[in-house]
Every structure is written in structure tokens, then in C-alpha cells.
Chains A and B, each alone.
Chain A
Amino acid sequence: DVKVTQSSRYLVKRTGEKVFLECVQDMDHENMFWYRQDPGLGLRLIYFSYDVKMKEKGDIPEGYSVSREKKERFSLILESASTNQTSMYLCASSSGLAGDEQYFGPGTRLTVT
């Protein structure tokens, strides 16, 4: 069974704090993704990575950075959290084969006050 885990289910941070969201997958997947989900806006891709130390910007990378030092771990970093980054953050991974499904973690609900 593929498992994608995220470090926290709920997180509350203050404006200006540096925030780390961690994601780990146990299926040796090549690709990993970070999305944010907001009501009425669906899922929006922030960043993705198709190999260790590789990263690609998604649709809304501003205010975020990522790190992929090991194949199984993909971190999302909010350098200076702002209230408009309050959202549900979803991590996903896939094998990298054409059309293979993405497996999602349970999500981290981040509130920035």
C-alpha cells in the first residue's frame, strides 16, 4: 500500500514565521508535488519535483520554496508566513511513468494568524 505522510494535520503559525511542511512517501516514487486547496479554487500546484534536487515551479510558487534532498522527502517552506497562506496543503507522489496516478497525503491545514 502506497503511503504518503505529512508531518502535521493542523498547524497554527504567526505572520512572519518560517514554516516547514514535510512530506514523505514510501514507494520510491520519482515525482512529488505540493498543492494548496482553497474553497472555490480547487487544487493549485505550488511546486513539483521529478528527481532529487530537481524542482519545477507550478502555478503559484510565489512566497514558497521547496527542498528535495532525498528521494522520499519533499519539503515545502514558507519563508515568511502571511495570512493569505492560510490554506489546506496537500502533498502527492507518483511513479513518473506516463499517466500514473498521484497518491495524496491527508493534508496539513495551516492557519497563519
Chain B
Amino acid sequence: GEDVEQSLFLSVREGDSSVINCTYTDSSSTYLYWYKQEPGAGLQLLTYIFSNMDMKQDQRLTVLLNKKDKHLSLRIADTQTGDSAIYFCADFSPLYGGSQGNLIFGKGTKLSVKP
């Protein structure tokens, strides 16, 4: 089946940039997502990118997509202690080739921001 891989931990200093990487196996991937989970909470969508895009920027967040290498990254500029959380990469997997489907999640990257 399809798979999404990401490293489990990342530690950065406050004010630095964080880059969280993700690889996926689905060659027909259409949408890719980044979710954030703060301690004790559910997941919250941060941003997403459509497969015909290379880059998407939203304030401090930059998503880069290399479709040839099936590599997705999330860059957080000027990382703050409030950014400490688990970040999940996810790939939309259609059901029966249609518009319905579910998300294939990576295991999550725990970002620790040191003051």
C-alpha cells in the first residue's frame, strides 16, 4: 500500500528556521497536507499543497514539493516555542479512483524548540 515517511524528531533553537521533511510513495498523489498536533489535542490542518504546485507560502510557513523525488518539506521561519508540537505529513488516497478517499499519515515529527 501507499506509505508516507518522516523523521520522528527535530530540535531547533528559538528564532531559527525548522525544516520538516516527508517522502511518499504514491505516484498519483493529488493533495498533500501538513497537520499540527499540540499536546493533548487533536490534529489541526496547517497547510496543504496541490500536486501541480512546487511551492506554497503562508506567512511563516513554506511548503516545497518535489514531485519527481516524491519529497515534501515544511519550513517554519523564525521558529517560536509555541511551534513545539508534532507535525504530520499526509497524502490523499482516493477510494476507487474517485473523489472520496482517506489520508495516509506519516508517523509524525516531534518538533522541540529550545529557548
Contact = CB atoms under 8 A, between A and B. Distances in A.
Interface of A: 4, 30-31, 33, 35, 40-43, 45, 48, 50, 56, 58-59, 90, 92, 96-99, 101-107
Contact of A90 (B30, B42, B48): B42
Interface string B7-25: 0100000000000000000
Query: Which secondary structure characterizes the binding site on chain B?
Result: strand
Contact of A31 (B40, B42, B45, B100): B100
Interface residues of B, number: 27
A99 B50 contact: yes
Contacts of A106: 40-42
B99 to A, nearest CB: 4
B102 interface: yes
B41 to A, nearest CB: 6
Given A40-B8, A42-B88, A50-B95, A98 B30 contact: yes
A42 B42 contact: no
